[in-house]
């Protein structure tokens, strides 16, 4: 694909995102902005780390919450336990994401398929029990509460609109960065790992090293998502990274579609909308989310985004078919006039 064509494909979504950043805080109510939009954005950032692994490298990881939680705990520990400057703590927390991803990648670099899923699940469960039981560092099952987001002059990130702007900009940057990596030579190696591991090795690549690199790249998104979740919730505890959150992240990516990075944000928005509005008429919200998950999986292997891409690809054919049916028949086709 030429650079100009690649830029055209990115320019329209980027322009739409910029317009959304300007319009949404003006038009949305405080409830929608805080409970729907901001939550969908930081959850989508965390989901983007998993969507990148699945869509680009073919690695179904159940340990992304461990990476996510590492960054969140690092943020809270450095700030609340050691009194470190909040921006320096945020930088260290974001940096801990790819480091944690590197460690998870090293542990699972020699495995694939079901074995990789089980190894990464073990990592995620280990992170949960470590956070719950190692009280001197993590404060046990209560975790950290009362976290205050940073303040710059008159801009308080504890308020809805400043928090929306920083979360939205982070989401756009994550999508642009991950799509750039996907289009780079490293992205080709990741897709080679996804499509044919043996052929990738025959071309001179080390599949284990490519696996570790993919986890490290995804760790950047997971780390940023972990920091933003602490800013949003004002707290982090083992309940933030338990087995329910592991499943939730997988559901978000599956419903949205891992075929592209943006699918994670669609899935996060769908799950957040269901949980907020379904509670008005039923107490079985998780059952409803599970039903939505089953329906999407049955009708589209690539989630909501897959349905949209399929509909868009078929639209020109449908349009041409309608034009052919509505076009008036020629005299020759209609036959000789009646006498």
The phi and psi torsions of 151 (rounded to 5 degrees) equal -130, 130
Over the chain (339 residues), the average pLDDT of each successive run of 10 is 58 78 88 92 94 93 93 94 91 95 92 90 94 89 87 82 93 92 91 91 92 95 94 92 91 90 91 86 83 86 81 69 63 50
Going from N- to C-terminal start, the domains of the chain cover 2-288
pLDDT value, residue 331: 47
Spatial separation of the C-alpha atoms in residues 78 and 98, rounded to whole Å:
18
Look-up: residue for tokens 């990115």? 10
Contact 46, 261 (CB under 8 A): no
Burial 27-44 (b: 16+ CB within 10 A, else e): ebeeeebbbbbbbbbbbb
Question: Strand, helix or coil at 235?
Answer: coil
Spatial separation of the C-alpha atoms in residues 160 and 157, rounded to whole Å:
7
| Cβ-based neighbour number of residue 273 at 10 Å | 14
Q: Which long-range contacts (CB under 8 A, 24 or more apart) does 87-95 make?
A: 87/150, 90/150, 90/227, 93/223, 93/226, 93/227, 94/220, 94/223, 94/224, 94/227, 95/223
pLDDT value, residue 144: 93
Q: At the top level of CATH, which class does the domain 2-288 belong to?
A: mainly alpha
Residue 197 tokens, joined? 């591991």
The H-or-E segment that residue 156 falls in is strand 155-156
Maximum C-alpha span of the chain: 101
Look-up: residue for tokens 């900009």? 169
- pTM, two decimals, is 0.88
* Residue 329 CB-half CA count within 13 A: 6
pLDDT value, residue 193: 93
What is the secondary structure of 284-332 as a DSSP string?
-HHHHHHHHHHHHHHH-TTHHHHHHHHHHHHHHHHHHHHHHHHSPPPHH
Look-up: residue for tokens 């107490």? 283
The phi and psi torsions of 155 (rounded to 5 degrees) equal -95, 115
Spatial separation of the C-alpha atoms in residues 149 and 158, rounded to whole Å:
5
Spatial separation of the C-alpha atoms in residues 192 and 179, rounded to whole Å:
16
């Amino acid at each position: 694909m030429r650079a100009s064509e690649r830029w055209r494909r990115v320019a329209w979504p980027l322009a739409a995102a910029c317009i959304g950043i300007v319009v949404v805080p003006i038009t949305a109510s405080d409830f929608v902005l805080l409970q729907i939009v901001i939550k969908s954005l930081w959850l989508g950032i965390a989901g983007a780390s998993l969507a990148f692994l699945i869509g680009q490298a073919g690695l179904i990881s159940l340990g992304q919450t461990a990476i996510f939680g590492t960054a969140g705990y690092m943020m809270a520990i450095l700030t609340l336990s050691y009194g470190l400057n909040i921006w320096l703590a945020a930088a260290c927390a974001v940096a801990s994401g790819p480091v944690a991803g590197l460690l998870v990648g090293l542990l699972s670099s020699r495995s694939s398929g079901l074995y990789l899923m089980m190894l990464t699940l073990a990592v995620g469960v280990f992170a949960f029990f470590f956070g719950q039981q190692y009280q001197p560092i993590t404060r046990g099952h209560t975790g950290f509460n009362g976290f205050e987001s940073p303040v710059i002059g008159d801009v308080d990130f504890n308020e809805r609109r400043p928090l929306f702007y920083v979360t939205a900009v982070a989401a756009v940057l994550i999508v642009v960065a991950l799509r750039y990596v996907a289009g780079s030579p490293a992205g080709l190696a990741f897709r080679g790992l996804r499509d044919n591991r043996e052929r990738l090795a025959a071309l001179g690549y080390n599949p284990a090293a490519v696996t570790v690199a993919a986890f490290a790249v995804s760790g950047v998104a997971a780390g940023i998502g972990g920091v933003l979740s602490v800013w949003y919730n004002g707290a982090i505890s083992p309940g933030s990274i338990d087995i329910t959150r592991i499943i939730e992240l997988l559901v978000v990516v599956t419903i949205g579609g891992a075929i592209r990075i943006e699918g994670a944000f669609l899935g996060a928005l769908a799950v957040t909308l269901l949980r907020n509005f379904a509670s008005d008429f039923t107490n079985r919200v998780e059952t409803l989310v599970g039903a939505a998950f089953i329906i999407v999986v049955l009708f589209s292997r690539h989630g909501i985004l897959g349905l949209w891409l399929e509909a868009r690809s078929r639209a020109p054919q449908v349009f041409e078919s309608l034009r052919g049916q509505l076009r008036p028949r020629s005299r020759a086709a209609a036959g000789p006039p009646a006498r």
